Amino acid sequence: MKKKLSENTISHNETGTSDKTPGSLLNKPVSRRDILKMAGVGGLGLLLGGGAAGALFSSTQAIARRKKVLNAGRSDRTVYPFYGKHQAGIITPSQNFMCFASFDLTSTQLDEVRALFKKWTTAAASMTQGLMLGDEPANTNPNLPPADTGEAAGLIPSKTTITFGVGPSFFDSRFGLAGKRPAAFPDLPKFRGDALQSEWCGGDVGVQVCADDLQVAFHAVRNLARIARGTAVLRWTQEGFQRTTAAEPSSGTPRNLMGFKDGTGNPDVNDEEQMKQVVWVQPEDGAPWMAQGSYMVVRRIRMRLEVWDRSTLDDQQQTFGRYRDSGAPLGAHNEFDPLDFSAKDASGNPAIPVNAHSRLAHMDGKTKLLRRAYSYSSGLDLKTGQLDAGLFFICFQRDIRKQFVAMQERLAASDKLNEYISHIGSASFACFPGATEGGYIGDQLF
């Protein structure tokens, strides 16, 4: 990590290369004469019918393609400010990796919890800017444990965002805050088909760390857990991933592990009015301390990939109600074409089946939420011999009752996708509004 970097700015510098690096050689224009000189063929290649030169020009095209890949993979120096009206990591463009941590508070003293959030705020503000925790002496004294664990030293910020929220259990009798629990933040009901496992559920505090580098994201969770010692302990953690921007420079809609695009129907995060309606809690919603915050629901969804992989492409597309290749709704042509529930197929049946996932998720289009999901893979399930992999579903909304619960009840009842998935983890968190410099996350609640 860098020693110094101005906070509360967003920069977009690219990493340069020296004239001695292979990258700089690729950036230099190469003429036909240069190619012939490098090959040592001169006019001989022409006398041979241009075959050698033709091969070299093909190599030039390969170099150009390689140059394009290298440029696409260059480090993006974007830095998201930690302080602001809203917490980053909600409408922020999804980064390549995610580390989620659920904490249980071990202290019953509100003052100690308040002190923890102040420490977390200071640490998060530093880590999102690429700064080491602690000052120079705190990391160089050989007789003391370093203030920073060090695994992100020398690494760029990697677009890190750290988003904090508190769970329903935070409002029990321990801290005297039961009266401040919003009506829009209920306990999630048990949905039909749930196979929840306690080791993947709940938590007093939830922290979502997203970054374009997994080591940077892990570093943040590790240091937050270290700071919390004596006040909070980790309950469970989950890492997630999606295709990297280097692998897909066009930044199209990511695909889930079933091969289908995930998040096509998301609302436009650049539409401020729509974000007010869908994502951000408003002052008139009955919980002033949550105004400009958002409610997060996370679900660990195990995919039965071995069963899915034996299904026909047609069955897979009927399950989602979309074409796998393009992401377009069945009967349409482009990914973002509207879902036409009146369209019929050649047999006169609904083009998008009545139990298709996309149909049930969208229905009349009035129930919306903002998805921010990541795939996960936790190796092999030794009990079944199958992959423990799937989707770590994350969504944000203004009112959990009217948005996630309403949508999930429809999906749980008749979604064809339920044949291939199982919800094994569940939690919800009230994500505070953003903190101002001089303040701390959650200060309006405390």
d(CA 269, CA 93): 9
Considering only 50-54, 302-306, 319-323, 364-368, which range has the smallest mean pLDDT? 50-54
In this prediction, residues 208-237 reach a mean pLDDT of 98
Nearest residue to 368 (alpha-carbon basis) of 328, 406, 421, 340 = 406
At residue 159, φ and ψ (nearest 5 deg) are 60, 30
For residue 426, what are the β-bridge partners? 201, 299
Say what the pLDDT of residue 74 is: 54
d(CA 346, CA 278): 37
- H helices within 309-435, ranges in order? 313-320, 357-362, 406-414
pLDDT tops 50 at residue 14: no
61: Cβ contacts below 8 Å, ≥ 6 apart: none
Strands (E), 291-420: 294-303, 370-371, 374-381, 386-397
216: Cβ contacts below 8 Å, ≥ 6 apart: 152, 155, 157, 158, 160
Say what the pLDDT of residue 137 is: 87
Helix (H) or strand (E) holding 71: helix 51-73
Q: What are the tens digits of pLDDT across the range 259-281?
A: 999 999 999 999 999 999 999 99
389: Cβ contacts below 8 Å, ≥ 6 apart: 257, 302, 303, 305, 375, 376, 377, 378
pLDDT tops 60 at residue 113: yes
Q: What are the tens digits of pLDDT across the range 72-84?
A: 445 578 999 999 9
What is the token pair recorded at 335?
């990914």
Helix (H) or strand (E) holding 27: helix 22-27
Helix (H) or strand (E) holding 306: helix 305-308
pLDDT above 90 as % of the chain: 78
Q: Do the Cβ atoms of 302 and 422 come closer than 8 Å?
A: yes
Say what the pLDDT of residue 250 is: 83
Q: Would you call 171 helix, strand, or coil by DSSP?
A: helix
Q: What are the tens digits of pLDDT across the range 389-442?
A: 999 999 999 999 999 999 999 999 999 999 999 999 999 999 999 999 999 999
